[in-house]
Amino acid sequence: MIENNKMILTATTANSWIYPEVKNWAENLDDLVKDVVECYEAGATIAHVHLPRGQEVETVKRIREQCDIIIQGGMSSDIIPDRKGDFKAKPDMLSIILNHHDEHFTQINVSRLHTLDELEEYCMKCKESKIKPEWEVWNTGSYWNLNYLINKGLLEPPHVLTLFFNWPGGTWSPPTADEYLHRIKYMPPNSLHSVSIMGENQAKIATLAISHGGNVRVGTEDYPFIKRGKPAVNNAEIVAKYVRICKEMDREIADPTEARKIMKLK
């Protein structure tokens, strides 16, 4: 972890799992592309996009026509057969959870089981497709699986991680400073980390990441408000807020070209 390095800012543009009533996210492809482009213009480095099933290729293509933002395909808990379209669309990155998922959202529960065999297959498919995996880390157990894959020689550094906080369910972790410090302490070497926080403590953990050389992910999927109780106009408004916070805290934001170099994307 190098302090004072440039920060990579990810915008996650999907629907909020815990505030489904807010509805300030795109619900069709045109709006989704527009939202991503606005995030780019506001300063985001990466767009975490739930590529609409069946339209994965088209979505990636349309975003790339309009801006240089790094595209990260979401829905990390899906099994490989359900992500064929993601692999075909060849986004720059693909999100993958590092272990089981047990989520208790407002309108849906997710219980997904990712075995080590499945994770190994994910590594190989990403390698073939020249897609960088973004590993989703829920607790120190995620690191055990990641180290297993690293030790098997299946991954190239740097390892790009997102640490999750306060997602409800059996993989929950508290959105507290001590949880953040505990989580980064056990990261494998050669890792870059971002943070994803649901709920009102987002700024608490995000500013910690900014001051500790980490990266930040924000957007409607994680916390669709611009301040307590006030929904954001759109994702670009949330991105712009974190661009301002970074500036005040004396960290510059990497543009996509710089971030591609930092993360060694292909």
Q: Contact residues for its own copies (CB under 8 A)?
A: 4, 98-100, 102, 104, 109, 111, 113-116, 138-145, 148, 168-174, 177-182, 185-186, 201, 203-204, 207-208, 210-212, 227-228, 241, 244-245, 248-250
Which CB atom, from 244 or from 266, has the smaller least distance to its own copies? 244
Smallest distance from the beta carbon of 258 to its own copies, in angstroms? 19
CA proximity to 158, closest of 187, 186, 190, 136: 190
Closer to its own copies by Cβ: residue 31 or 118: 118
Rounded to the nearest whole angstrom, what is the least distance from the CB of residue 185 to its own copies in the complex?
7
C-alpha 132/C-alpha 92 separation (Å) is 6
Nearer of residues 37 and 206 to its own copies, judged by Cβ:
206
CB of 146 to its own copies, least distance (A): 10
Of 198, 95, 92, 177, the residue nearest 137 (C-alpha): 95
Shortest Å, Cβ 111 to its own copies = 5
φ and ψ at 23, to 5 degrees? 50, 45
At residue 249's C-alpha, the angle toward residues 164 and 24, to 5°, is 50
Neighbours of 27 (CB within 10 A): 9
What percent of the chain is helix, strand and coil (3-state, nearest 5)?
Answer: 40, 20, 40
With beta carbons less than 8 A apart as the criterion, state whether 162 and 122 touch: no
Longest dimension (CA), the chain: 47
CB of 187 to its own copies, least distance (A): 12
Closest CA relative to residue 235, chosen from 33, 36, 8: 36
**Run of H or E including 125:** helix 116-129
In the complex, what is the shortest distance from the CB of residue 211 to its own copies, in angstroms, rounded to a whole number?
4
Which residue has 């960290």 as its token pair? 251
Quote the CA–CA distance of 21 and 163 in Å, as a whole number.
26
User: Shortest distance, CB of residue 204 to its own copies, whole angstroms?
Assistant: 4
CA–CA separation, 140 and 146 (whole Å): 10
Q: Is the Cβ of residue 243 or residue 265 nearer to its own copies in the bound state?
A: 243
